[in-house]
A = this chain, B = another copy of it.
Amino acid sequence: MSKEPSIASYIESLFPSFEPELKRVLIENGTLKTFDAGEMLMQTGQNMRSTILIVEGLVKLYREGDEGNEFFMYYLQPGNACALSMICATRQETSQVMAKAVEPTKGLMIPISLMDTLMKEYKTWYYFVLETYRNRFEELLTVIDNISFKSMDERLEFYLAKQYRDLNTRKLQITHSEIANDLNSSREVISRLLKKMEQRGELSLHRNYISYLK
């Protein structure tokens, strides 16, 4: 049987800034949960019972429209926490956002009952929570900027640049219709814009992947 990393080692490597006492509490009270690729960590209307710290994999956060259309917001990576699970957990409320594992993902689940104590007792935790909020808030603001002030081609460029940054690869394994979905556009439009970008030498198109060159 292959040995998987312990909670302690995850915390040590991903959350080094946490004070020792806080680490101890998280190790004692957290449980690891595995999600398959494609599995939902959080669904519109679902009630949260824990806060999630991502320790492995990749999670995609998106908003769902009335007709089932999706709208990509941002990714969560190891070392990130789900801001929404924190807020909702604290207030015991439901969320209006979907979180889906895009790779096999592991999350450290922290029971909501612990939130009060953590906030009060551990300064590094409280900073971590505020930091998380701030970052996600800023991401949402960027999203708003893009959809309200930018045209589709600019949004597409931004999207690809973000994929390149977040996934850390020039070979973007994504189809045109997935992009269209994420941007709430349509495949044909995306294909046409991508071709223009290719002509400008910004990328090269292949079946099932895009080589991002900028």
Which residues does A use to contact B, with CB under 8 Å?
A: 63, 65-66, 69, 71, 73, 83-84, 87-88, 90-91, 93, 96-97, 116, 119-120, 123, 126-127, 130-131, 133-134, 136-138, 140-141, 143-145, 147-149, 184
Number of copies: 2
Q: How far is the CA of A112 from the CA of B120 in the complex (A)?
A: 18
| Cβ contact of A63, chosen from B84, B126, B144, cutoff 8 A | B144
| Cβ contact of A141, chosen from B91, B97, B147, cutoff 8 A | B97
Known contacts A69-B149, A116-B123, A149-B65; A90/B130 CB under 8 A: yes
Q: How far is the CA of A133 from the CA of B145 in the complex (A)?
A: 20
By a CB distance below 8 angstroms, the chain B residues around A144 are: 63, 71, 73, 140, 143-144, 147
